[in-house]
Amino acid sequence: MTVKRIAVLTCLDACKVCTGAGCLNAWNRREHGFAPYAGKDVSLEAFFHCNGCGTEPETDAGMLEKLDRLQSIGVDIVHIGICAVKDRKNGMLCPHIEKIRELLHSRGIETIVGTH
């Protein structure tokens, strides 16, 4: 059985008030966005943040380095934190996070919106 390698992407701005506890508790308990992994062989490989509003992910050397790292360690799926959903009524992501999502897809990494 192949281990699924998981990462979590969060909003840098949210880090002003977020400890990551909600995401990590949901991961540890395999609840909410992580419920499908209950009883499965999975590994949390990374917990990373966007580089903030005003950056352009597709030309941001730091973000591209992060994405290279995720790819090099074999991350299969990136869960996008609820902090990145800027329009909860319509489920729309922050435009910068949406660009990162596109970059992840172009590298063959699946994304799922939702953590806790």
CATH number, domain of 90, equals: 3.40.50
Per DSSP, 33 falls in state G
Radius of gyration of the chain (CA): 14
CA dist 95 and 86 (Å) reads: 9
pLDDT at 63 exceeding the cut of 70: yes
Say how many domains are in the chain: 1
What's the confidence (pLDDT) of residue 101? 96
Residue numbers of the domain that contains 33: 4-113
Q: Is the pLDDT of residue 1 over 70?
A: no
* Chain segment 81-115, per-residue pLDDT in tens: 988 887 767 777 889 999 999 999 999 999 999 99
Question: Over the stretch 14-41, which tens digit does the pLDDT of each residue have?
Answer: 888 999 999 999 999 999 999 999 999 9
Has residue 60 got a pLDDT over 80? Answer: yes
Percent composition of the chain: helix, strand, coil (DSSP 3-state, to 5): 40, 25, 35
The pLDDT of residue 38: 96
Does residue 13 carry a pLDDT above 70?
Answer: yes
More confident residue, 80 or 91: 80
pTM of the model: 0.93
